[in-house]
Amino acid sequence: MTIRLYDTGARQIRDFLPLQPGRVSIYLCGATVQAPPHIGHIRSGLNFDIMRRWLEYRGFQVTFVRNVTDIDDKIIAKAADTGEPWWAIGYRNECAFNAAYDALGCLRPTYEPRATGHIPEMIEMMRGLIERGHAYAADGNVYFDVRSFEGYLALSNQRLDNLLQPAGEGETGKRDPRDFAMWKAAKPGEPSWETPWGRGRPGWHLECSAMAHKYLGSAFDIHGGGVDLVFPHHENEIAQARAYGDDFAAFWAHNAWVTMSGEKMSKSLGNSVLVSEMVKRWRPVVLRYYLATPHYRSTIEYAEESLREAEAAFGRIEGFVQRAVELAGPVGPAPEVPAAFAEAMDDDLGVPQALAIVHTTVRHGNTALTDGDKDTVAARLAELRAMLGVLGLDPLDEQWSQAGTGGAAESAADLHGVVDSLVHLVLEQRQAARARKDYATADAIRDRLQESGLTIEDTPSGPRWNLGTR
């Protein structure tokens, strides 16, 4: 068994060899909590949730760290505009992110550190970098000397001479305009902490370097994040950590954007789609299917039609699972996924190729259902549950099978329950019409339901409905 991943630093797919046998450590750049999450934010969490699940399926013990940036220029600016405390803004939106991760079925991280809880670690890292000649203090700021680190910009494959670093407000005393701020001098009315170089607050890049060191040590396996973080954030993390003496990340993995009209989804462009609103319109499991099943390095262009296609595709999976359980009874996941599924997942997390195996299994299972072949149905259901468990999409998982999951997700589930009750009321009328041999009325009811986007199937245990392609 060999897992291969695309390494952004090497710019190629290569064999993944963990630093410790049987253990994998992952650091994922998490939320900057200045606003509630849109689906572009949550895609990263979903992609790396699948990576984690696959590594655990392959037998690794995974330590997964996903940080929270709870102090940031945008959070401070919003506090100044609204009069709300910066920490209240951060906490409210951190809760919103966690609700979104939970609603879409992401496993909780092993550790989820907040930046403001790790000021001592940041001070210690700055002290070490100053002593080694890689950083310097000026006017209450602390800057990283980019010319002191030979490997700077290797991840993004840029040349330092071509780099333009925009000046930040209050960033005075730089020796080189391209040096970046690790610590920012205090400004009136802004949050600040005491350091040997004066009061101030951390720079974004320092936070992750310090927290990765704290929870994963001087070397770990995989550092993840969105492709937009390659520069400057991840470049600056690397410079700080390696100049400090850490080996830092062995692999760099980056997920692509969710776009609208060809542009990255973002609050600043006004083209975001909040998760809290989306789960009122779509079942959370459908959103997970939509966001998590394209390849993590491919861009998703947001479109309602694509969501309807995801809904229909998952409906086909769900429909087979429901019918299979009725025929074969409760069936647990198979101990192993099919070889073709494993081969796809081992090849840079090839979820689209793996999903093709899922749908082939559903087709074979439906054939067995038609034939009344209970043993084959049970075998296909076990295989399917094993594969869907890796993807976090098993309809029989408690996450999706319960009526509600809380918060916004519960609204979608409740709505589905109301629709289910109404449809069954209509189906009872159809059954009554069939019982009195009024087949014209029965057929008319079925046709009207199908026109509404539902598919009706008559089974030995009674009629069943599923969402069609609408």
Annotated binding-site positions for ATP: 267
Numbered residues of the known binding site for Zn(2+):
29, 208, 233, 237
Structure tokens at 389: 């468990």
- Rounded to whole angstroms, the Cα distance separating 266 from 260 reads 9
Numbered residues of the known binding site: 29, 208, 233, 237, 267
CA gyration radius for the chain? 26
* Tokens of residue 170, six digits: 């209050």
For residue 60, give both structure tokens.
């690794």
The residue with tokens 């940036």 is 69
Assign residue 326 a region (left: φ > 0; alpha: ψ between -120 and 50; beta: otherwise): alpha
Q: Are 202 and 71 in contact (CB under 8 A)?
A: yes
